């Protein structure tokens, strides 16, 4: 955080990232928090284009199909921009720490081991969100490096946050929304802590299921 305000990086604009942006931006577009912390710049990173299949669980409409996801999210939320809040579309994938610039807070919500590892390597204050079906995992900078490495497989192939055949069968599950809510809460509370507001408590890293509740709380440093 500087006298020029803060920068937030959202890595991914899919099931987690698009819904996270839609939760975060309205929440911080006005009020004492954004006024006290200075201008907030939200940068959203993703090279992907909106497809018809995305419409079942990502925050897009049919008119967005074929357009860059980050541009759709920015344009849809642009009415909430002000002197205190700006949104930047970054239509590229994060593959190294340098791709991120210099954010104060980073959330990675894309199913890409290189993006996750780039965020972990850069350090600072970060959150790593993952989901499958109605489950989600939240790792963050407060965990031990050994535990983060154990839970991050560089050889994992990218995949959907929906289970196999969920889109075709209509069995949509909502772990991505739970992850997005965790991310929005984590960001707002982290911003409050940076601004010196008392009682700020970002949610802890954990594994959780909408059906079965918290499955595991992670080891912190």
**According to the model, what pLDDT value does residue 172 have?**
81
Measured CA distances, 140 to 40, 55, 136, 147, 182 (Å): 21, 29, 13, 10, 12
What number of helices (H) and strands (E) belong to the chain? 7, 8
What total number of domains does the chain contain?
A: 1
Which pLDDT does position 2 carry in this prediction?
59
Question: Tens place of pLDDT for every residue, the chain, 221 residues?
Answer: 556 799 999 999 999 999 999 999 999 999 999 988 989 999 999 999 999 999 998 999 999 999 999 999 999 999 999 999 999 999 999 999 999 999 999 999 998 899 999 999 999 999 999 998 889 999 999 999 999 999 998 887 776 776 667 677 778 889 999 999 999 999 999 999 999 998 999 999 999 999 988 877 776 76
* Angstrom distance (rounded) from CA 166 to CA 9: 29
Give the tokens for residue 182. 């965790």
Residue 1 lies in a domain: no
Strands in the chain per DSSP E: 6-11, 40-45, 85-90, 105-108, 125-132, 135-140, 206-209, 213-217
Say what angle helices 17-28 and 69-77 make with each other, to 10 degrees: 20
Note whether residue 185 is domain-resident.
yes
Residue 31 lies in a domain: yes
Please tell me the distance from the alpha carbon of residue 133 to that of residue 140, in angstroms, as a whole number: 21
Tell me if the pTM is above 0.75. yes
In angstroms, the CA 77 to CA 88 distance is 11
**51 three-state secondary structure:** coil
Tell me, what DSSP letter sits at residue 66?
T
24 inside domain: yes
**CATH number of residue 174's parent domain:** 3.40.50.720
Domain span at 178: 6-217
pLDDT at 162: 64
């Amino acid at each position: 955080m500087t006298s020029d305000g803060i920068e937030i990086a959202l890595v991914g604009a899919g099931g987690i990232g698009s819904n996270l942006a839609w939760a975060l931006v309205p929440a911080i577009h006005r009020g004492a928090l954004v006024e006290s912390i200075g201008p907030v710049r939200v940068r959203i990173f993703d090279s992907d284009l909106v497809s018809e299949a995305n419409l079942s669980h990502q925050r897009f409409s049919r008119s967005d199909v074929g357009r860059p996801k980050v541009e759709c999210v920015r344009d849809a939320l642009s009415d909430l921009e002000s002197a205190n809040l700006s949104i930047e579309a970054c239509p590229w994938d994060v593959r190294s720490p340098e791709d991120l610039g210099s954010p104060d807070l980073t959330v990675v919500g894309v199913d890409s081991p290189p993006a996750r590892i780039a965020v972990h390597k850069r350090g600072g204050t970060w959150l790593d969100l993952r989901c499958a079906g109605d489950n989600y995992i939240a790792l963050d900078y407060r965990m031990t490096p050994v535990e983060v490495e154990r839970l991050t497989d560089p050889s994992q192939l990218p995949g959907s946050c929906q289970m196999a055949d969920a889109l075709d069968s209509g069995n949509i599950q909502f772990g991505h929304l739970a992850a997005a809510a965790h991310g929005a809460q984590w960001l707002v509370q982290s911003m409050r802590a940076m601004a010196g507001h008392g009682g700020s408590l970002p949610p802890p890293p954990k594994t959780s299921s909408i059906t079965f509740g918290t499955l595991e709380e992670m080891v912190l440093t």
